[in-house]
Structure 1
Amino acid sequence: MRVSKRVRSRGLPALLVSTALLVGALSVGTVATAAPESGKAPAASGSVHAGHVMAASTRASGDDPDGDGYIPAVPQVTGVTPSDRTPPPAYFHEFQANCSATHTAPDDPIVYPGQPGKSHDHTFMGNRSTNAHSTTGSLYGGATACKAPADASAYWMPSLFKGDQKVLPVGPQVIYYKSGVTDYTSVRPFPKGLRFVVGDPMQTAGEFRAHKGFVEGWECGDSFFNTDIPASCPSRPDVQLNLRMQAPSCWDGKYLDTPDHRSHMAYPVVKPGTNDNMCPASHPVALPMIEFKMAWPVNGDMSQVRLASGRGYSFHYDFFNAWEERTLKALVDHCVVGGLQCDARGYDETHPQKGAVLNADYRLP
């Protein structure tokens, strides 16, 4: 039995976020059973993005056999009302997924599923098997370059070049799992198989700077908040090129993916009359907010440094969830919901009495 794919985007205009397209209000706390499919509207042809059109993938794949780009969650999450509660203050509510780069390839199993060589070059982290044919089933339980063996998720971004030389991040990179909403106690784990794209390779410098996921832009040495890769960086061993970018953390509860790879996700909104963040009614389910914190070993003359997707402001990244469910839930509950600042073991050194989630081998006991 399959879940109906009839819910569609209403084409609301983009706000400041170039990649967040909100769907219409959904009647989506409780888990619903799968409903029989009773018909489908035509799949969206692409996402309009400030004068650009990014093609939607509507090709049959292992997770989307009818190829319309909509992958329903089974079961769906319904009956959720966005939390506007203000819990006890907790400055931190996060844990880290420390994952190393594994390989590069001109593949993208989200945007171009089953089409090897079709995308610009990507640098993959986490799951060691990620390629154009990757599916939830092929990733789940696979070998990983993340410290926690239970994290078989795939993370990728456009490869960085200096001239013709590809430059890879060295060692485990910091991928934060945070609360994006004020009520950090309302955050729940990602559903298995959820995937999305953050940012847009076709965005302009202004759109990149205005993106809700923009944190500090490109930085090196004492240069911060750059929308493009700086022309030069101090030539010192301790200087690297850095970038931080946050993902949307509110889910519609309906789909694991949509044709534009964005519409099922949204950024939190500000509760009227406050400084509190909460999920919008259209995307009421609060999930962890992923934040990439990347570092590339390059400095000095940066005039030849570029991304495979183009200028620095074309930066974007992809996430494909393949965590083992019990481990992800334990980390989310202990660190995010628990209001702690955890490392990859789920340990907060400022609150040692709280203990760690994972053992010395980064596994759930």
Structure 2
Amino acid sequence: MKRHLAVACGVAVTALLTVAPTSQAADDVTHHEFQVNCSVAHRLPDDPIVFPNLPGASHEHSFAGNTTTNAYTTLASLQGAGVGATSCLAPDDLSAYWFPTMFNGDTPVIPNGRQVIYYKSGIIDYAAVRPFPPGLRYVAGSPAATLDDFRTAPGHIEGWECGNSFFNWDFPTHCDVGTQLNIRYQAPSCWDGVHLDSADHKSHMAYPVDGYCPASHPKPVPMLEFKIAFPVDGDTSRVRLASGRGYSWHYDFFNAWDEPTLAAMVSHCINGGLQCDPRGYDQYKPNRGTVLGANYRLPGRP
């Protein structure tokens, strides 16, 4: 492993950049991903990335993952929350994930149960993807986006869908009864290798170009894809986000994974060319084994 000195917001930090993969991909690679399953833990008008130390300064967000996340959150506070202080299945994922709260009129719409956050390769050379360094954080999407900004955003953007209505760049006004309003949106997956954050909370990250990281952002990290299902159907004409219309969708990520756990999942599932569940198991390739035990922790951990 190589360790490099990174500088983020004027503070020197040590970031883990490379972890040698231990898994070899099978010849019939069709996926290179694993799932993280987390439920919404709480709601607050806070954003520790955009408005650090300013409680109430943000529109309302729904927070998943680390149960302590608020306006005062730092890497130290996330890591110090203790194993299991998370709404995710993996107790060692102390990362914070959040997105604008949805409302139907004035009633909050909270996703039922655990939602899916995919960790994927955003580049062709999936074996080159490395884990996020501790403390990396960014915002994907923008609350100030226009409909055209949202529609043409880099990455694979599926927009809003419900029932048989797909690729909506704003909320459809009606969803068949019994369906849910779903959103999928991909984050950038190329890091500049230096900064854990930037002034606009975006510039230290970039999307791949034609399957490769640009020279300005040469370090491939996992591509996050939030897949969130909101339990709303029928007349959706009063549905809104705390940030505005459907095209204002965005989400924030603050990495606080246990480093060996994240490294093992990235190596086995992404570098290994597998389609893994939250334990690092590919049901289509059972002979490849799993990463985490029945308790969703590395073997040997209680």
Is TM-score (shorter-chain normalized) higher than 0.5? yes
* TM-superposed deviation, 1:32: 3.1
Q: 2:107 aligns with which of 165, 186, 191?
A: 165
Correspondence 1:47-196 to 2 at 5 A: 69-70=9-10, 73-75=13-15, 90-142=29-81, 143-196=85-138
For residue 21 of structure 2, what is the aligned residue in structure 1? none
* TM-superposed deviation, 1:197: 0.2
Q: Whole-Å Cα distance in 1 between the matches of residues 37 and 235 of structure 2?
A: 29
Determine helix, strand or coil for the equivalent of 2:157. strand
For residue 281 of structure 2, what is the aligned residue in structure 1? 347
Q: From the superposition, tell whether residues 303 and 242 of structure 1 become closer, same or farther in structure 2 (CA, over 3 Å).
A: same
Q: 2:257 aligns with which of 314, 323, 328?
A: 323
Q: Percent identity?
A: 59
* TM-superposed deviation, 1:90: 1.7
Aligned residues: 289
Q: Which amino acid aligns with 2:4?
A: A
* TM-superposed deviation, 1:324: 0.3
2:165 paired with 1:223: yes
* TM-superposed deviation, 1:74: 2.1
Q: From the superposition, tell whether residues 334 and 211 of structure 1 become closer, same or farther in structure 2 (CA, over 3 Å).
A: same
Q: Whole-Å Cα distance in 1 between the matches of residues 255 and 146 of structure 2?
A: 28
Q: Which has the larger radius of gyration?
A: 1
Runs of 5+ unmatched residues, structure 1: 1-28, 36-63, 79-86, 271-276
Q: Is the 8 A contact 1:346 1:358 kept in 2?
A: yes
Determine helix, strand or coil for the equivalent of 1:152. coil
For residue 3 of structure 2, what is the aligned residue in structure 1? 31
* TM-superposed deviation, 1:30: 4.9
Determine helix, strand or coil for the equivalent of 2:266. helix
Q: Whole-Å Cα distance in 2 between the matches of residues 72 and 246 of structure 1?
A: 29
- TM-score calculated relative to the size of structure 1: 0.76
Q: Deviations over 1:97-136 (max 9, x none)?
A: 0000000000000000000000000000011000000000
Q: Whole-Å Cα distance in 2 between the matches of residues 334 and 76 of structure 1?
A: 18
Determine helix, strand or coil for the equivalent of 1:257. coil
Measured on the aligned residues, the alpha-carbon RMSD in Å equals: 1.8
Runs of 5+ unmatched residues, structure 2: 19-25
Q: Is the 8 A contact 2:34 2:265 kept in 1?
A: yes
Q: From the superposition, tell whether residues 182 and 34 of structure 1 become closer, same or farther in structure 2 (CA, over 3 Å).
A: closer
For residue 268 of structure 1, what is the aligned residue in structure 2? 208
Runs of 4+ in 1 over 6 A off after TM superposition: none
Determine helix, strand or coil for the equivalent of 1:197. strand
For residue 296 of structure 2, what is the aligned residue in structure 1? 362
Q: Is the 8 A contact 2:36 2:116 kept in 1?
A: yes
* TM-superposed deviation, 1:33: 4.5
User: Greater relative contact order (Cα 8 A, min sep 6): structure 1 or 2?
Assistant: 2
Q: 1:240 aligns with which of 174, 180, 187?
A: 180
* TM-superposed deviation, 1:91: 1.1
Q: Whole-Å Cα distance in 2 between the matches of residues 121 and 212 of structure 1?
A: 25
